[in-house]
């Protein structure tokens, strides 16, 4: 048997073994997703540091709406931003709606990759839109890219003060409504 055949057989065996190991390993994304969904509920304050119109205050409360759904609404001066993170068939998804200029059509995003503590989403129907969400307690960083160029950067910091129950219930009802 020639050395080339030996190398090819060896590489094939290595690839098959690697594919088997990868297929049976727990995906890294499930660990990140679980940590993200556990840490996200609660009150957050922050700002959209970079936007097309300059910095904007950005306060949001995320609520556990269902076993696999966490949602929140940031009420901004010019629009509301609805964020709905949910799981379907073990995959994390994001439905995002900005009511800017009367928009009522949400955008569906799916996970494209995970890195360390960052989850990357893309919108299959709007190929020019991608975003990343990085969880680094006590902060969450959200970066939105338009045509692969930075568009919006939001930094949220966990609030430790409690929102009053009436306001919390009202916010939860708005956050958890179906988009």
10-residue block means of pLDDT along the chain (179 residues)? 34 33 42 86 94 92 93 93 93 94 94 92 92 93 94 94 76 83
- Cα radius of gyration rounded to whole Å, the chain: 20
State the pLDDT at residue 29: 57
Asked whether residue 80 is domain-assigned, the answer is yes
> Which structural domain, as residue segments, surrounds residue 43?
27-176
State the pLDDT at residue 89: 86
| Reduced 3-state DSSP string for 85-132 | EEEECCEEEEEEEECHHHCCCCEEEEEEEEECCEEEEECCCCCCEEEE
Q: How far apart are CA 37 and CA 65, in angstroms?
A: 12
Q: Domain holding 41: CATH number?
A: 2.40.128.20
Q: How far apart are CA 4 and CA 15, in angstroms?
A: 16
State the pLDDT at residue 31: 79
* pTM listed for this prediction: 0.79
Q: How many domains does the chain have?
A: 1
State the pLDDT at residue 10: 32
Asked whether residue 168 is domain-assigned, the answer is yes
Asked whether residue 15 is domain-assigned, the answer is no
Asked whether residue 14 is domain-assigned, the answer is no
Asked whether residue 121 is domain-assigned, the answer is yes
Asked whether residue 7 is domain-assigned, the answer is no
Asked whether residue 56 is domain-assigned, the answer is yes
C-alpha to C-alpha distances, 48 to 32, 51, 63, 67, 76, nearest whole angstrom: 24, 6, 20, 29, 10
Asked whether residue 3 is domain-assigned, the answer is no
CB-based contact 179:93 (threshold 8 Å): no
167, with CB counted inside 10 A (0-12, 13-18, 19+), is: exposed
């Amino acid at each position: 048997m020639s050395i080339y055949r030996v190398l090819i057989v060896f590489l094939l065996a290595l690839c098959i073994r690697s594919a088997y190991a990868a297929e049976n390993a727990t995906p890294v994304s499930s660990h990140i997703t679980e940590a993200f969904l556990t840490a996200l509920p609660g009150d957050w304050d922050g700002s959209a540091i970079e936007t097309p119109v300059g910095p904007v205050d950005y306060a949001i409360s995320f609520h556990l709406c269902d076993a696999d759904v966490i949602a929140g609404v940031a009420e901004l001066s010019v629009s509301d931003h609805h964020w709905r993170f949910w799981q379907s068939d073990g995959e994390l998804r994001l439905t995002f709606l900005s009511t800017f200029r009367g928009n009522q059509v949400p955008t569906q995003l799916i996970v494209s990759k995970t890195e360390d503590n960052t989850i990357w989403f893309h919108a299959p129907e709007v190929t020019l839109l991608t975003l990343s969400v990085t969880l680094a307690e006590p902060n969450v960083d959200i970066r939105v890219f338009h045509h692969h160029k930075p568009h919006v950067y939001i930094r949220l910091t966990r609030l430790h003060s409690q929102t009053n129950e009436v306001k919390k219930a009202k916010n939860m009802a708005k956050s958890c409504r179906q988009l």
